[in-house]
Amino acid sequence: MAEDQDQVDQDKLAAEWEASAGGEAEVEAAPADDVPLGSARVLNQNEIDSLLGFGDSDGKDATNSGIRAIIDSALVSYERLPMLEVVFDRLVRMMSTSLRNFTSDNVEVSIDNITSIRFGDYLNSIPLPAMLTVFKAEQWDNYGLLTIDSALIYSIVDVLLGGRRGTAAMRIEGRPYTTIERNLVERLVSVVLSDLSGAFDPLSPVTFRFDRLETNPRFATIGRPANAAVLARLRVDMEDRGGRLEVLLPYATLEPVREILLQGFLGEKFGRDSIWEAHLAGELWNTKVPIQAVLDTVEMSLRDVLKLGIGSRIALNASLDADIQLICGDLPMFVGKMGRKAGNIAVQIDEKIDRDRGGF
């Protein structure tokens, strides 16, 4: 009897499985037209625009929303500085010569790219271990950042301490840099900062002074995380050794020379034409301007002015030796004495009015 009962239970279970499998097959085989429309809600155009963050405010509302706010939070419109590319190109040429003399080896320096980046994003992207040098622009009264990666650090140490050519520099990860390594890197930094100062000399004389050397990016903060900065990535190759060197200059540091860096080429003059300036100066010398001699000034009430008519007299306090003021428009120019010459009334100029001190 037990065996019969087990057989009945298994047959019942198999029937339930077949029924459930058949139901799923029927659902899968059912056409899409049989699915009720109420189960899937379709968004209208306004809801789609709101989701994407493209509303019909026409830019009047400064706050973005949706996917557009997420995208705009990582993008910033930076100003392009054409002359900065010329400066870094000059820096590469100067560094190639300086580092060859510094290392007594064949050194090639090249630019990987020049980009704009947020300062906070750059600190988070620095590959560690690395050495970060904070330097100050004396004339601009602000700071910059120079980052040297571990590959270049060990390569410089290996070259300066007489390492063999043809062998890659050995890197020992997980240990702090020694005093000797830090001192050698400081010597390298001094050479780079000297060349960077020389690269800016044709535009604006500036001295970049070494401030401190850090290995933790948190201690090398020279600006707010959201501040914009210019980042130049340089590649230093010494045969089979080398590494990367990055120069970061915040836009706030470059503000004193912003107008110069906006030029398209060195020596560009915006809105100036020497031929037009010479012509304008020549025409100004031939311009005629009216000069009036003021004998005296009298203050009268409006009632007395309205009573004036033909034949009325206004008494002046001017005497024969009184000073006469010569004015051009409303601007006082000279002070002189009234006289007569060749039958004409004349004024002899005694002094020029100093308008910076308030005039006559």
Provide mean pLDDT across the span 270-281: 75
What's 123's domain CATH number?
3.40.1550.10
Tell me what pLDDT residue 15 has.
66
The residue ranking higher by pLDDT, 321 or 159, is: 159
3-state DSSP assignment of residue 345? strand
The residue ranking higher by pLDDT, 271 or 118, is: 118
Domain count, the chain: 2
Q: In this structure, is residue 69 part of a structural domain?
A: no
- Give the strand pairing for 331-341 and 142-149: unpaired
Same domain for 253 and 289, yes or no, is no
The residue ranking higher by pLDDT, 17 or 284, is: 284
Same domain for 137 and 241, yes or no, is yes
Residue 168 DSSP code? P
pLDDT at 259 over 70: yes
Instruction: Supply angle C-alpha 227, 256, 267, rounded to 5.
Output: 125
Same domain for 219 and 297, yes or no, is no
Q: In this structure, is residue 295 part of a structural domain?
A: yes
3-state DSSP assignment of residue 1? coil
Given pLDDT bands bounded at 50, 70 and 90, which one contains residue 295?
Answer: confident
Question: Which pTM was predicted?
Answer: 0.54
Q: In this structure, is residue 58 part of a structural domain?
A: no
What's 346's domain CATH number?
2.30.330
The residue ranking higher by pLDDT, 56 or 317, is: 317
Same domain for 181 and 298, yes or no, is no
Beta strands in the chain (DSSP E): 108-118, 130-137, 142-149, 208-214, 228-238, 241-250, 292-294, 323-328, 331-341, 344-352
Same domain for 236 and 183, yes or no, is yes
Q: In this structure, is residue 201 part of a structural domain?
A: yes
What token pair was written down for 277?
């300036």
CA–CA separation, 144 and 152 (whole Å): 20
3-state DSSP assignment of residue 173? coil
Residues spanned by the domain of 214: 82-261
Same domain for 189 and 91, yes or no, is yes
C-alpha distances (whole Å) from 198 to each of 2, 128, 266, 276 are 101, 30, 15, 35
Least confident of 99-108, 142-151, 349-358: 349-358
